[in-house]
Amino acid sequence: MNKPPEPPLELSRKSVFRLVLLVVLATLVALFCNALWQFAGNTYDYKNRFKDVAVGQHLLYLIWSNIEVLKGYGLVGIGFTMFVYPLVLLWRRVQTFGRWGVIWRALLLCGMFYAFFIFRLMIERPYFGDYSYFDTAWRKFAEWCGPVVQQVFAFFVLYVFPWIAAVICGAFYLWEIRQAFLRKSRTFPLALFAPLLILAALAISGFGFIKETPKVHPLPEKPRPKPKNILILASDSFRADRLSCNGYPRQTTPQIDLLAQQGVNFQRCFTPIASTLESLTTMFSSQYPHTHGIVHMFPNKKMVARANANTPALASILKQQGYDTAVIGDWCACGFNELPMGFDDVIVSDFDNFKIYMSEVVYLHHQILPLFFDNNVGHWLFPKLKSFANYMTPDVVTGQVIERLQQREKDEKPFIILAFYSCTHLPYKTPREYAELWGDHNYKGDHKHQLALNVDEFIGDVDIGKKWERLPKAEVAQIVSLYDGCVRLFDDCVGQVVRALDASGLKDNTIVMVTSDHGDDLFEPNATFGHGLSFNGGDQSNHIPFVIRVPGHDRPGSQVKKIVRTLDFAPTLLDLVGVPADPGFEGVSLTPYMNDARADLSLPWFGETSYLFFRRNIPGEEPLHIPPMDVTTTIDPEFDFHFVLKDKYQADVLRTKERCLRTERFKLVYTPGVKGPIYRLYDTVEDKHCEHDVKARFPMVYEKMKAALTRWMDGHQETTVKEIFAGEDEFAIKPGTQG
């Protein structure tokens, strides 16, 4: 007769705790080993020269970066053990099981918690990784059960489930503490170390965000009129034609539209160079790149030092008037670390150096970081996360700006604050609710949540543009929709900041300005993506928003359709606050346009391209080009491991620059070619995307504009539109031999 199976031996609570801890650690070891495997495989697949530099010269740094992440794994291990252990014990109260029962139940519970965090990431930040399988399943689930059931399920998983687990575990640990006191035990229960360590980590993390109290300067002895404050809100790569108040059919910018109704909308504002570092330097120095010396995006240490020493700066001038000066931003604002442009407080990410790039490559392979540490605790534990585009989110920047405004309201010190966001920058990553505002819900391609850009190709292939020229219309439409969602995200940030400002006592004394450093190409004719590479396809790369609200301005809702430049920002702002402009400024004040609808400053737009990543394409011509980035640049350890242009390519970059002269109607583009200069003239009224060269139809216009462009290129001499056309109305010029 067979004996009945013996019941499993009753495990002590200490044994259960050890088994749970071992299971949790085993899952984390598996995740860590998988991250190392993926990192090694992807690193081997990179074909550019920077991979060789990283592996050959910085191998120990790469190894240390992987080791550094282990503290995150350790904290996750404590947290998972803290939740899984009491649940296993409670399960054992209703069902008897032994060692293997503890193991598989602990594995099941770990899997449930991992699934919860993956689900949360997929719903809230789907662009963080390749979660296409989960996303497809989620959509199928909605088709099967309906959107209402889908939303109820999401609410339960995201909010009800974690609260149930937290309440159960919290009750368990409170009971354990009570029992320990009742027993008057001299030894503390082992399991209680887990929640205490978690609470300690959370408490300690708070210290990472304690900032030094700003110094309050004493008020002047004699009362005087309160100076106007300046608040500038800008997003990298923000196109002017995407504002709904500028005629865009999608309602992308309701908050900025409201500002435009209360202020002035300059609808034709251009930057002389469509590249962040150079454009921002121009914006705050009121000087062309050839004057301030930052002529491409990879300046060396000497160029930066010279610009810092010799360039006038808006913030420096205001600082002398007692202003508090601050720039707050994410990774797109990193250039202010090297070129602060007079701002005293630079609260931005440090992204633009090779070690940060290497750290990002390492960190992004460890999935525990986006799953568990995309928060304040993670930013304290891993400070480099704030330098990565995925982690330094717009809401973090917005919160810092509002906090700064609250400080200035308390101490009543005048201020200039620049808030610089990366919302609209490549690769157009944004939370799901923005990505799906205008995107095709049935789209299943590579660009579902962001532009799928291969960085290896971008820095190592000058012909990458040919691949993107063949992109199908449906793919282009999806990318454009993603970009428009990014615009709406920035608009919401503007709304939050302006509402906080208006709710304070600062509204009636603060100038609010919305703008950008440059626009972006979005697959216009003869263009793909990027900015500052060429003048093909129209003005989209250099045409930026400029909306300004000035307290007491008596012409709210006015529009200025004349050409203005970022070169004119600093003189205009100083004029509005009653401070004289620096004699080194090359721009002019735009207040005449704000005060008189009939004003005409006759401003031309002179522009130039920046560093040439892609080979330009001009039908029937052969433009000059330079080798790819991994050949022309190097990493300078004496300049904080920044990418810098090699000396031998400095002249080549300048030689391959396109130059441009734009009037209200005409646009002349100069491109250096293999066989000589290439000039193209466009009538922008008839040809928005600049597809048809009309210099044969307007020979005198071509000659006059060519002479003016040559004076600017060779002699750095600006010619007004009236001087170019000798006072003649350019819109009255007819095709033919006469100008």
Looking up residue 312, the CATH number of its domain turns out to be 3.40.720.10
For residue 206, pLDDT beyond 50: no
Does residue 364 fall inside a structural domain?
A: no
Mean pLDDT for the stretch of residues 645-662:
96
Report d(CA 73, CA 53) in Å as an integer: 29
Question: Rounded to an integer, what distance in angstroms lies between the CA atom of residue 69 and that of residue 376?
Answer: 16
According to the model, what pLDDT value does residue 217 have? 42
What would the DSSP string read from start to end of 113-143?
HHHHHHHHHHHH-GGGS--HHHHHHHHHHHH
Q: How many domains does the chain have?
A: 3
Q: How confident is the model at residue 219 (pLDDT cuts 50, 70, 90)?
A: very low
Q: What is the dihedral of CA 199, 201, 204, 205, to 10 degrees?
A: -110
> Considering the chain, what is the average pLDDT of its residues?
85
Q: Is residue 355 part of a domain?
A: no
Residue where one domain finishes, among candidates 587, 621, 648: 587
Amino acid at 667: K
640 in the same domain as 582: no
Cis peptide before 427 (omega within 30 of 0): yes
pLDDT band, very low/low/confident/very high, at 293 (cuts 50, 70, 90): very high
In the predicted model, what is the mean pLDDT of residues 5-13? 63
Whole-angstrom CA distances from 120 to 131, 290, 304, 370, 449 are 11, 49, 43, 11, 16
Measured distance CA(489)–CA(421) in Å, rounded: 10
Per DSSP, the three-state class of 152 is: helix
Backbone angles phi, psi at 522, to 5 degrees: -130, 55
Give Cα separations from 518 to 246, 314, 533 (angstroms).
16, 19, 12
Query: What's the farthest any 2 CA atoms get from each other in the chain?
Result: 117
Q: Which of 118, 122, 101, 51 is nearest to 455 (CA)?
A: 51
* Phi, psi angles (nearest 5°) of residue 264: -125, 135
Query: Are 638 and 674 members of one domain?
Result: yes
Does 553 lie in the same domain as 490? yes
User: 340: helix, coil or strand?
Assistant: coil
Which 3 state secondary structure label does DSSP give 235?
Answer: strand
List, as one string, the DSSP characters of 418-436.
Answer: EEEE-TTSTT----HHHHT
Phi, psi angles (nearest 5°) of residue 363: -60, -40
Query: Which residue would you say has higher pLDDT here, 214 or 674?
Result: 674
Helices 59-68, 49-57: axis angle to 10 degrees equals 80
Helices and strands, counts by H and E, the chain: 28, 19
DSSP state of 623: B
* Alpha-carbon gap, residue 172 to 189, rounded angstroms: 12
**What percent of the chain shows pLDDT beyond 70?**
84
- Cβ atoms 301, 641 nearer than 8 A: no
Q: How far apart are CA 274 and CA 540, in angstroms?
A: 10
277/146 same-domain check:
no
Q: Is the same domain home to 279 and 200?
A: no
Which single residue is written with the structure tokens 């000396």?
647
What SS3 state is found at 709? helix
When pLDDT is cut at 50, 70 and 90, the band that residue 616 belongs to is confident
Please give the average per-residue pLDDT across 18-47, as a whole number: 82
Q: How far apart are CA 537 and CA 614, in angstroms?
A: 15
Residues 455 and 485 in one domain: yes
**Partner residues linked to 326 by β-bridges:** 345, 417
Domain-embedded: residue 602 = no
Q: Residue 307: CB partners within 8 Å, gap ≥ 6?
A: 281, 292, 293, 294, 299, 339
Provide the H-helix boundaries in 263-326: 276-285, 289-292, 301-310, 314-319
The last residue of one of the domains, among 173, 207, 241, is 207
Q: What are phi and psi of 185, to 5 degrees?
A: -70, 140
Q: Report pLDDT digits (tens) over 694-735.
A: 999 999 999 999 999 999 999 999 999 999 999 899 999 998
Q: Who wins on pLDDT, 432 or 203? A: 432
- CA-to-CA distance for 6 and 457, rounded, in angstroms? 64
Q: Which is nearest to 524 in space by CA: 691, 666, 393, 732? A: 691
Query: How wide is the angle at C-alpha 566 spanned by C-alphas 561 and 571, nearest 5°?
Result: 100
Distance of alpha carbon 588 from alpha carbon 600, whole angstroms: 12
DSSP string for residues in 555-581: -TTEEE-S-EEGGGHHHHHHHHHT-PP
Given a cut of 80, whether residue 146 has pLDDT beyond it is no
Residue 216, in any domain of the structure: no
For residue 220, being part of any structural domain is answered with no
pLDDT value at 265 more than 90 = yes
Q: What is the DSSP string of 479-517?
A: HHHHHHHHHHHHHHHHHHHHHHHHHTTTGGGEEEEEE-S
Q: Cα–Cα distances in Å, from 626 out to 272, 493, 591, 615, 648?
A: 22, 39, 42, 8, 12
Cα–chain center distance at 357: 15
Average pLDDT over residues 441-456: 80
Cβ atoms of residues 85 and 102 within 8 Å = no
Q: What is the pLDDT of residue 218?
A: 45
Give 148-167 pLDDT, tens digit per residue. 777 787 787 777 877 887 78
Q: CB–CB of 312/287 below 8 Å?
A: yes
Q: Taking the CB of residue 205, how many other CB atoms lie within 10 A of it?
A: 16
Distance in angstroms (rounded) separating the CA atoms of residues 561 and 324: 33
- Give the CATH number, domain containing residue 686: 3.30.1120.10
Main-chain phi, psi angles of 532, to 5 degrees? 75, 10
Residues 431 and 555 in one domain: yes
Final residue of a domain: which of 207, 239, 261? 207
Q: CA-CA distances (angstroms) from residue 509 to 220, 225, 231, 549, 725?
A: 18, 11, 11, 11, 42
Structural domain contains residue 370: no
- Give the pLDDT band (50/70/90) at residue 201: very low
Between these two residues, 395 and 213, which has the higher pLDDT value? 395
Alpha carbons 264 and 716: distance in angstroms, whole number: 31
Least confident of 27-36, 89-98, 172-181, 420-429: 172-181
Q: Is the pLDDT of residue 462 over 80?
A: no
Q: Are residues 405 and 550 in the same domain?
A: yes
Residue 157: per-residue pLDDT: 77
How far is the C-alpha of 560 from the C-alpha of 266, rounded, in Å? Answer: 5
Give the three-class secondary structure for 457.
Answer: helix
pLDDT digits (tens, 9 = 90+) for 369-384: 878 887 777 777 877 7
**CA angle, residues 99, 103, 104, in degrees to nearest 5:** 120
Question: How much of the chain exceeds pLDDT 90, in percent?
Answer: 51
Same structural domain, 479 and 339: yes
Residue 158 per-residue DSSP state: I
Contact 360, 399 (CB under 8 A): no
Q: Is 362 among the domain residues?
A: no
Which position has the higher pLDDT, 202 or 10? 10
Give the domain extent around 107: 13-207
Q: Are residues 202 and 241 in the same domain?
A: no
Phi, psi of 560 (to 5 degrees): -115, 115
**Is the pLDDT at 26 greater than 90, yes or no?**
yes
- Supply the pLDDT for residue 3: 56
Q: Model-level pTM? A: 0.79
Q: What is the CA radius of gyration of the chain?
A: 30
- Which of these, 495, 490, 493, 468, lies nearest to 479 by C-alpha position? 468
End-to-end CA distance of the chain: 115
Burial of 68 (0-12, 13-18, 19+ CB in 10 A): middle
Closest CA to 232 of 567, 547, 565, 551: 547
Same domain? 457 vs 560: yes
**Domain identity same for 427 and 556:** yes
Residue 141 lies in a domain: yes
